[in-house]
Amino acid sequence: MVPSLPFPMHPKMQEDQALAFSAKQDEEERRHIQKVQNAFQYYRRYAFLRLNRKEDYLLSLSADDQRLLSKYRTHLDIVRHCIDCNQTVIREILRDRVLYPTGGDSDYQNDEAPAHVRHGDMDQAQSTLKLIARDWSAECAIEREQSYKPIIDSIEEYYKPSDYKLNEIKILVPGAGLGRLTYELACRGYACEGNEFSYFMLIASNFVLNLCDYENKHVLYPWVHQYVNNMRRADQVASVRFPDVCPVRNPPKGNIEMAAGDFLEVYKSPDSYNCVATCFFIDCANNVIDFIRTIYKILVPGGIWVNLGPLLYHYSDVSGQNSIEPTYEDLIIIMESVGFDILTSRTGIRTKYAQNPQSMKQSEYQSLFWLCRKPPNNFEQQQQQQQEQRNPQEPPDLIVHQNNVDIIDAETEIEIETETDDDLKQT
């Protein structure tokens, strides 16, 4: 029997918190998971609606135009086949019932739009297929290396295998997505816990981590919904196989867990983790200071926070949502004021996010990278005493200190993309 990875269903809370959460949220959570399942099941029909409109328009053209587009017409038939194949993979993802209510038929597909499922939900279902490719296909290995390697290298340099018992080094990965970064850190021997809020991500990552029993078992067409910026017809219908590494047959040396829930609601216990690793995550908050304070709180004294990603600020343009968008120099001030020592900071890290490598349009971030440390014990008391003596009205502008001058590269700006890859990152 192949080994299985632990995959906790509910957020890790104190017992009294968990009971209150369960009583209040169970029904709401059940409805939400059902909506995610419905969106996955409606995937094929939803994708066909767009394809049918294209075919109907094509048939309305003159006979001469249709003759000139004969190869394009054949291509649309191939697109339809690829969508069918993706739905087959989705049925496999939904076949296991661990993460959502029992009952129903995983082979069922909705031909009518399910109640309460919106266009945004369908976009997330399609985006999930791209993120499977990003985290678990050989074709996206270069993109993964851009984002994950600086984080992994920094953690291995700080918590060297020669100096620590790695299975005692607890690492939390908030916004774990499809789980590859969590898995890679656990493979190096660390005790890793991924946290994810999206059930699209949780259902898909559970499938890869626990249910794919050999490498490259499944074929996916992640770019089939990209009808523009294609040099060749084959680029839109290019396939990837996943998983390129099978976690079931290659279990990590360290412990690995995945926990569901809102990061700010789940993680409240102080001094709990040796390291927090965030990748394309910190700009997912309405107020990024909440994330920074929580990360500081849950780290043990001397623990580190390693971050890589841009400052997209997902809620910035979302109707009905409040948002603040501090710049990088603002974040440096905030982090130091909260209490972090900034050990390493770099700008201009070139990173892509779920990009079709053959697309004519290649969006790229000039991402930020930093490694911060929560100082050893007694620092908080000293800082509070100094704060009381100064009694400042606002945080000091620490960015102008001489030892921080090299942190900001004035010639490097954060490139914020507003195209479809940004919508994908919000999932």
Whether the per-residue pLDDT at 11 is higher than 50: the answer is no
Whether the per-residue pLDDT at 43 is higher than 70: the answer is yes
Whether the per-residue pLDDT at 92 is higher than 50: the answer is yes
Contacts made by residues 329-334, CB under 8 angstroms, sequence distance 24+: 329/399, 329/408, 331/288, 331/292, 332/398, 332/399, 332/404, 332/407, 332/408, 333/395, 333/396, 333/397, 333/398, 333/399, 334/288, 334/289, 334/292, 334/395
Whether the per-residue pLDDT at 379 is higher than 60: the answer is no
In this structure, which amino acid lies at residue 188? R
CA distance 148 to 171: 14
**Does residue 15 or residue 266 have the better pLDDT?**
266
Say how far residue 176 (Cα) sits from the centre of its chain. 5
Q: What is the H or E stretch that residue 65 is in? A: helix 63-68
144: its two tokens: 């993964």
Average of per-residue pLDDT across 57-70: 98
Per-residue DSSP letter, 230: B
Q: What is the pLDDT of residue 32?
A: 83
Question: Which of 128-132, 407-411, 420-424 has the weakest average pLDDT?
Answer: 407-411
pTM confidence score: 0.84
Whether the per-residue pLDDT at 415 is higher than 80: the answer is no
420: its two tokens: 């479809």
Task: Print burial letters for 128-145: b (CB count within 10 Å at least 16), e (below 16).
Answer: bbbbbbbbbbbbbeebbe
219-235 pLDDT tens trace: 999 999 999 999 999 99
Q: What angle do CA 243, 246, 426 make, to 5 degrees?
A: 45
Whether the per-residue pLDDT at 18 is higher than 80: the answer is no
Whether the per-residue pLDDT at 158 is higher than 80: the answer is yes
CA distance 20 to 24: 6
Q: What is the H or E stretch that residue 367 is in? A: strand 365-373
Whether the per-residue pLDDT at 171 is higher than 60: the answer is yes
Average of per-residue pLDDT across 312-337: 96
Percent of the chain with pLDDT over 90: 74
Per-residue DSSP letter, 405: G
Q: What is the pLDDT of residue 323?
A: 97
CA distance 414 to 150: 18
For 146, residues 6+ apart whose C-beta sits below 8 A from its C-beta are 349, 350, 351, 352
Beta carbons of 311 and 368 less than 8 angstroms apart:
yes
Place of tokens 């440096």: 332
Q: What is the pLDDT of residue 385?
A: 58
CA distance 211 to 213: 6
Q: H-type helices in 137-179, by residue range?
A: 141-158
Whether the per-residue pLDDT at 426 is higher than 60: the answer is no
Q: What is the pLDDT of residue 394?
A: 55
Q: What is the pLDDT of residue 382?
A: 60
In this structure, which amino acid lies at residue 149? K
Highest mean pLDDT among 3-17, 85-99, 348-362: 348-362
Q: What is the pLDDT of residue 114?
A: 78
Farthest CA pair distance, the chain:
84
Whether the per-residue pLDDT at 351 is higher than 60: the answer is yes
116: its two tokens: 């309460």
Cis check: omega of the bond before 243, within 30 degrees of 0:
yes
- For the chain, give the number of residues: 427
Percent of the chain with pLDDT over 70: 78
